[in-house]
Amino acid sequence: MLAKVYVTLRNGVLDPQGKAIHHAATTIGYQGLTDIRQGKYFEIAFDESVNQEQAYEQLEKLAHDVLSNPVIEDYKIDLTTD
């Protein structure tokens, strides 16, 4: 079972890394860019010993406690079974 977790900065939280990429890209000629924000992306694989419900429960906890800082970041969990 493969899960994807996306961690992004909350709206309103300054993203200097994204701003730097935006500025650099505009400087070297990319057009029409209004904003770039950078986040984190995790691919998490589970073995057969956990079912989808257990996996989702663990993912919620893992995303909240380990992968993100809930004060300034949001996370999204995408759990696919294949």
Query: Smallest distance, Å, CB 70 to a second copy?
Result: 17
Answer for the pair 2, 68: CB distance below 8 angstroms, yes or no. Answer: no
Choice between 43 and 71, CB closer to a second copy:
43
Answer for the pair 15, 74: CB distance below 8 angstroms, yes or no. Answer: no
Tokens of residue 47, six digits = 């073995």
Other Cβ atoms within 10 Å of 5 Cβ, number: 21
Footprint on this chain of a second copy (rule: CB under 8 A) = 6-8, 18, 21, 24-25, 28, 30-47, 49-50, 54-55, 58, 61-62, 66-67
Query: Smallest distance, Å, CB 71 to a second copy?
Result: 19
